[in-house]
Amino acid sequence: MGVSKGRRSAWDSIQDAATCLLAITLLAAEPAYAQGARHRHRHQGGQQRLLVVTSLPTFAAITRELTGDLAEVEAIARGDEDPHFVQPRPSYAAKVGRADLFVTTGLDLEMWAPTVIDRANNPRVVEGSEGHVVTYPGVKLLEVPEDVSRFGGDVHAFGNPHVHTDPVNAIIIAENILRNLTQVDPDNAETYEANFRDFKDRVMRRLFGDQIVQMLGADAIFQLARNYEFWGFARNQSFQGRPLTDYLGGWLAEATPFRGRRMACYHKSWAYFGARFQIECAVFIEPRPGIPPSPRHLGEVVGTMGDESILVLLAANYFSHSQVEQVASRTNARAVIVPLDVRGAEGVDTYFDLVDLWVSSLSEAFLASD
Interface with Zn ion (CB under 5 A), residue total 1
Beta bridge partners of 314: 265, 336
Closest contact distance (angstroms) between CB of 151 and Zn ion is 17
Which residues within the stretch 136-155 sit at the binding site for Zn ion (CB under 5 A)?
A: none
Closest contact distance (angstroms) between CB of 309 and Zn ion is 27
Closest contact distance (angstroms) between CB of 199 and Zn ion is 25
Whole-number Å distance between alpha carbons of 316 and 353: 15
Closest contact distance (angstroms) between CB of 320 and Zn ion is 16
- Which CB, 131 or 289, lies closer to Zn ion? 289
Smallest Cα–Cα separation from 52: which of 109, 91, 101? 101
Give the single-character DSSP code of 351: H
Closest contact distance (angstroms) between CB of 111 and Zn ion is 10
| H-run or E-run covering 326 | helix 321-330
Q: Under a CB-based contact definition with an 8 Å cutoff, are residues 311 and 45 in contact?
A: no
- Which CB, 84 or 124, lies closer to Zn ion? 84
Sheet holding 71-75, edge to edge: 71-75, 50-54, 101-104, 132-134
Which residues within the stretch 2-21 sit at the binding site for Zn ion (CB under 5 A)?
A: none
- Which CB, 122 or 160, lies closer to Zn ion? 160
| H-run or E-run covering 281 | strand 280-284
Q: Under a CB-based contact definition with an 8 Å cutoff, are residues 105 and 163 in contact?
A: yes
**Beta strand 280-284 pairing with 334-338:** unpaired
Residue nearest to Zn ion (CB): 289
| H-run or E-run covering 294 | none
Closest contact distance (angstroms) between CB of 316 and Zn ion is 9
* Residues 231, 141, 360: CA angle, nearest 5 degrees: 55
Which residues within the stretch 286-325 sit at the binding site for Zn ion (CB under 5 A)?
A: 289
Closest contact distance (angstroms) between CB of 109 and Zn ion is 7
- Which CB, 79 or 289, lies closer to Zn ion? 289
Closest contact distance (angstroms) between CB of 267 and Zn ion is 5
Whole-number Å distance between alpha carbons of 355 and 230: 19
HSE at residue 152, side-chain half, CA atoms within 13 A, is 17
| H-run or E-run covering 105 | none
* Residues 168, 171, 172: CA angle, nearest 5 degrees: 95
- Which CB, 191 or 323, lies closer to Zn ion? 323
Q: Under a CB-based contact definition with an 8 Å cutoff, are residues 72 and 51 in contact?
A: yes
- Which CB, 289 or 339, lies closer to Zn ion? 289
- Which CB, 161 or 250, lies closer to Zn ion? 161
Neighbours of 312 (CB within 10 A): 23
- Which CB, 106 or 289, lies closer to Zn ion? 289
- Which CB, 254 or 286, lies closer to Zn ion? 286
Closest contact distance (angstroms) between CB of 119 and Zn ion is 24
Backbone angles phi, psi at 147, to 5 degrees: -105, 110
In the shown chain, the binding pattern of residues 261 to 290 toward Zn ion, with x for contact by CB under 5 A and - for none, equals ----------------------------x-
Interaction site with Zn ion (CB under 5 A): 289
